[in-house]
Chains A and B, each alone.
Chain A
Amino acid sequence: MAFRVTANPLLLAGTKLLSAVILLAALAGVLFPEDPFEMVGRPFLPPLSDGFLFGTDTLGRDIAAAVAHGARVSLAIGVITALISTFFGVVVGGVAGYYGGRIDMLLMRTTELFQTVPAFLLAIVVVAVLQPSIYTVISAIVIVSWAPLARLVRGEVVSLRSREFVQGCIALGMSDARILFRQILPNALPSIIVAASVAVATSILFESGLSFLGLGDPNVMSWGLMIGIGRSVIRTAWWIAGIPGIAVLITVLAINLFGDGLNEALNPRSAQRNSKG
């Protein structure tokens, strides 16, 4: 399954942008060693002020420092929630697709239920009930994002399950778990990886929405929180909310491009069907 990254412009652009965001997150502590909550300058300094590339916020905190530290939070929450959601999606979808019948019906009705309930509203209620913290935010996002992954995995498993190599494994007397995890799922891996990368992007959007509403961890500097802080002064100082939003946009854009490119590289047939390009 070798592919050349350079031959795929989407993947290349996505990888470059994403590397920039990851680099920013990694170097946040070096570039801005102070606590991003620290008040370091006069409040409401516009961007490109002396010493403050992106200006300062309502309390004189450095927006550039907050953006860099926020990159850590956004990426970490995005990756962790996507991994957990993918795990649940693979287990639920795998079992449903492999065993079929009643288990399948029960599990798929459950995923349908989670897709019916307004996702963001459910996330809000979960965080509100359990009190905002980084753990409840992660749990809430996982609760609202595992279902589409489970459906995808189920679809893949159902189509692979009737293939001859699986029949062969059954005839050899392999255990169900071994067939599912060692034989079927590796074949479904390309689609799962692509879906998981998209899940990272949606998780970042969910997290920023929650912390914008004041449901993030109050002790963690995140992009959504910064936009929430800037909201009340939007008339006089648009950049306080504007700049962190651009950071979210660039990050989500990078991950989406990366995911699209990955899809073209890993699933060339389905990508061609989808884009005819």
Chain B
Amino acid sequence: MSEPRHTDAAAPSPAPVRVSPARQQWLYARRRLVQGIPTVFLIITGNFFLLHLAPGDPADVLAGEAGAATAEFMAQLRAQFGLDEPLYLQYFKYLLRTLTLDLGYSFRYGESNLTLIMDRLSATLLLMVTAVTMSILIGSVLGLIAAVRRGTVVEAMILLAAVLAYAAPTFWLGLMFIVLFAIKLNWLPTSGISTVGAGYTGLQYALDVARHLILPATTLALFYFALYARLMRASVLENLGQNYVITARAKGLAPRRIILRHVLRNAILPVVTMAGVQIGGMLGGSVIVESVFGWPGLGLLAFEALFARDLNLLLGILFLGSILVVLANLAVDLAYAIIDPRVTIR
């Protein structure tokens, strides 16, 4: 019984063939996409199980338990799902429908679930990209400062902020931000994505959205900021003891230059890896942040679906959300290879 990694290492490596970096990246991306296929199948299978676990038959669930569905629609659903057929056939049909992105119809909204989800996707993407960028930027900068100013009050303050942000429940933090910045100080809007009825266009509209974005993005970013600041600090400290830093010092490079040109680039790698791993977690967190701030994205849709007991819509959001994570992980892997040329793409 040998360790798989050993056998991998012992396997003869194929003769090196010169391939252009762009082609290499494409090949890598394709391989990762292929690896994502079983994941998609398993998620659909999980969703199918959940549908059957719910009380009542899946037709009740699919109709959204809204009581709004007509008897004909229910009969049609039962026929469409073949609920009298054996389970494996039902599963096969469900698989096929989901793979063709037929996620069903929402009685509550009078709209197909796919349309509903796609309409909300851009708002969630805007929120996530802003929050990820904020958390990585602020986290790395403060982590770097904490490492460089080790043993000072500055480091203690940064670590304290990180520990507190790491322990605070996101939704509560969001509510307290609303109390402070929107209600007491009246600096920022409490909710929504833009001022209703203001009729802004162009730049004015973009600025309006940006003002609405500040609180939800900060709320979502804070937890991850805490994690990245701590990780960055540890990573910088570890890098400072490396031989290449000693060499750079011996060459007489200015400390500032060593930190910014050499250490920063190496130290940020674990942060990027971690950020990639946590995209799924952040998408989950956006459900709660969006419902606190009334941000009209996937999370708020999930929240609304929850209250309408529209389980099929919820399952659709879970499915497309997971696919989003698979794609985002791929993007992070590619970004990683660009930051660190040593990462060989195979």
Contacts and interface: CB of A to CB of B under 8 A. Distances in A.
A105 interface: yes
A128 B167 contact: no
B325 A118 contact: yes
A241 interface: yes
A276 interface: yes
Given A201-B167, A252-B167, A124 B237 contact: no
B283 A276 contact: no
A129 B50 contact: yes
Which of B163, B169, B277, B291 counts the most chain A CB atoms within 10 A?
B169
B327 to A, nearest CB: 11
Given A105-B4, A129-B311, A234 B178 contact: yes
A125 B175 contact: no
Contact of A115 (B51, B237, B280, B309): B280
Contacts of B329: 116
A118 B303 contact: no
A71 B178 CA distance: 26
Interface in A221-277: 224, 227, 230-231, 234-235, 238, 241-242, 244-245, 248-250, 252-253, 256-257, 273-276
Interface stretch (A34-42, A51-59, A205-213): A205-213
A119 B273 CA distance: 18
Contact of A120 (B4, B234, B237, B284): B284
Interface string B231-250: 00010011001000000000
Q: How large is the interface on B (under 10, 10 to 19, 20 to 34, 35 or more residues)?
A: 35 or more
Interface in B89-143: none
Given A121-B302, A208-B169, A245-B172, A257 B163 contact: yes
B322 A118 contact: yes
A113 B47 CA distance: 13
Q: How large is the interface on A (under 10, 10 to 19, 20 to 34, 35 or more residues)?
A: 35 or more
B183 interface: yes
B156 to A, nearest CB: 12
Which of B39, B234, B284, B314 counts the most chain A CB atoms within 10 A?
B284
A8 to B, nearest CB: 16
Contact of B169 (A117, A129, A130, A248): A248
Which of A99, A120, A162 counts the most chain B CB atoms within 10 A?
A120
A208 B178 CA distance: 19
A209 B171 contact: yes
Contacts of B188: none
Contact of B284 (A122, A131, A276): A122
Nearest to A122: B318
B179 interface: yes
B326 interface: yes
A205 B169 contact: yes
A99 B51 CA distance: 34
Given A113-B43, A128-B314, A245-B168, A256 B163 contact: yes
B43 A213 contact: no
B43 A117 contact: yes
A215 interface: yes
Contacts of B237: 275-276
Contact of B306 (A124, A126, A205): A124
B318 A253 contact: no
Nearest to A204: B169
Contact of B171 (A117, A126, A212): A212
Interface in A156-204: 158, 161-162, 201
Given A100-B2, A121-B287, A274-B234, A215 B306 contact: yes
Interface string B10-25: 0000000000000000
Contact of A162 (B3, B54, B314): B3
A109 interface: yes
A99 B306 CA distance: 42
A276 B281 contact: no
Contacts of A252: 166-169
B318 A234 contact: no
B218 interface: no
A125 B318 contact: yes
A217 interface: no
B86 interface: no
Nearest to B305: A128
Contacts of A241: 172, 175
B55 interface: yes
Given A113-B43, A121-B283, A129-B51, 16 more contacts: A101-B4, A109-B38, A113-B42, A119-B284, A120-B285, A120-B288, A124-B287, A125-B311, A125-B318, A158-B3, A161-B3, A209-B171, A227-B172, A249-B164, A253-B163, A276-B238
18 contacts: A100-B1, A101-B4, A105-B4, A115-B280, A116-B325, A117-B280, A118-B283, A120-B281, A121-B284, A121-B317, A129-B61, A130-B54, A209-B171, A227-B172, A231-B292, A249-B169, A273-B238, A276-B234
Closest 9 A/B residue pairs (Cβ): A120-B284, A245-B172, A118-B284, A253-B167, A276-B237, A252-B167, A118-B283, A129-B54, A238-B179
